[in-house]
Amino acid sequence: MSAFLERWWSLEPLVQLLIPLVLLCLRLPRRPHATARECLVLAALLTLAIVPLMAGLVTGLGTFEAFVVFSALLAVLVGAVIFVYDVRPWTALFCATAGYTLQNIVSGTLELLRMYITGRASVQLDEPVATIVTIGVPAVVYLAGYWLFVRRVTLRGLLDVENRMMLSMFAVVVIAVIGLDVIIKGLAIVGIPFRYLILLRLIHPLVCVFVLFAEYELLYAKHADDERAETERLLAERERQYRLSRENIEAINIKCHDIRHQIRRLADEGAVVDGAVLADIEREINVYDSVVETGNEALDTILTEKSLMCSGEGIVLTVIANGAALDFMAPADIYALFGNALDNAIEAVRQVDDPERRTITLSVRRAGKMVAVSVENYFARAPRFSADGLPQTSKADGANHGFGTRSMRAITQRYGGSLHAGAQDGVFYLNVLLAEPS
């Protein structure tokens, strides 16, 4: 192995680089004829790495030459990602620079381990130790990199990145990662004290880890801002809906009272009206006149609205609520929290065929200095949960849905509480704890 790498030394960093790049790009959408494109890229890279050595044009790289070559290779990798995958330049920049940084952690760790074992700066290890180290170190570092970094990068995060600061990360990787690495190698040739060389080799991986952290933050900075803006927009929309619902329900109740009194007057005056028809009309009106009263106007509004919806769809909504316990909350927050919770419950129960299981139960009660909210409903299809414990949307367009559950968590946290969701024995449950202000 060591003899092979001594002759074809350019292959080692190339293989080390392609592994993290493939891991980062694995989930990206591929362009037409992507396999052929990958083969072209691989053939081009191998040609650039091997032909100069075979022809004797290159026998080694000086410090400046190495800096230029590796910087150019980074630019080539950005182009290769765009060539193979259907992504924007910002996504390609992230994958190439992050992959290159991971590779530098591997190469730096290999050098550090060789120096530690041999006690010298530029001495190759003997077999079989050389093979074990050459294969073992990349395996360990890439497994750790995948577990701590790559798997946390979501496909949506990769595809949605539009942060033009990612371009500055290219410069950072060129200067801080590649530049520092070639400088350390140059200092090793010059012959600086061994302890300083060890120190620099320890600093280099730390710089690489910092660069990866900065890239991850850049990747999700805009994504987090967009989610926050969408959540705030939904809360504002819920506040508007609350005002409209309150007005509509009051108008409907007034009209229903008027119609009911008119029907009773007609009946009392002995007008020729079928009594059964009048009874049916009054029964229907009573559905729309069924205002829920819990002691909190905002909660009454949302529960009345959702009970009307449930009545029209054959769903039984059972409410046991001490609305006065929620007086410390803003009306719009109550409307948004309970509106999202009941909307999700109604969506799930719609798919249940058994009439006896088409039920939703909601309770609000005080528990010491906390207010406990519980919503339970049956479901036909088991819900899926994300890594943070929130139920995932069942809609096909997941990228544009699911903000309701996040807004519920945001409201809960705003009141110093917690939200927990789960499913057991065919029943979905949502438990919310809210802290009453002291």
> How far apart are the C-alpha atoms of 169 and 78, rounded to whole Å?
12
* 208 and 67 inside one domain: yes
CA atoms within 13 A on the CB side of 15: 11
* 31 and 156 inside one domain: yes
> Where is the domain boundary, 231, 262, 282?
231
* 58 and 132 inside one domain: yes
Q: Can you give the pLDDT at residue 400?
A: 37
> How far apart are the C-alpha atoms of 413 and 435, rounded to whole Å?
9
- Confirm whether 80 is domain-assigned: yes
> Where is the domain boundary, 184, 211, 231?
231
* 70 and 181 inside one domain: yes
Domain tally, the chain: 2
- Confirm whether 107 is domain-assigned: yes
* 183 and 92 inside one domain: yes
> Where is the domain boundary, 193, 212, 231?
231
- Confirm whether 11 is domain-assigned: yes
* 202 and 311 inside one domain: no
Q: Which domain holds residue 31?
A: 2-231
- Confirm whether 7 is domain-assigned: yes
* 206 and 328 inside one domain: no
CA distances from 315 to 54, 310, 311, 321, 377 (A): 77, 5, 6, 18, 10
> How far apart are the C-alpha atoms of 102 and 209, rounded to whole Å?
8
pLDDT in tens, the chain (438 residues): 555 555 555 677 788 888 898 888 888 888 899 899 999 998 988 888 777 767 776 666 777 888 888 888 889 999 999 999 988 888 888 889 999 999 989 988 888 888 888 887 777 777 788 888 888 888 998 898 888 888 877 666 666 666 666 777 788 888 888 888 888 888 888 878 888 889 998 999 899 999 888 888 777 665 566 666 655 655 565 565 556 556 656 656 666 666 666 666 666 666 555 566 556 555 555 555 455 678 888 888 788 878 878 877 889 999 999 999 999 988 878 888 998 899 999 999 999 999 999 999 999 999 888 999 999 999 988 888 877 777 866 554 443 335 578 888 888 988 889 999 889 888 999 999 999 886
Q: Can you give the pLDDT at residue 349?
A: 93
- Confirm whether 103 is domain-assigned: yes
* 197 and 309 inside one domain: no
Question: What is the domain-level CATH number for residue 410?
Answer: 3.30.565.10
pTM for the model stands at 0.54
> How far apart are the C-alpha atoms of 105 and 113, rounded to whole Å?
12
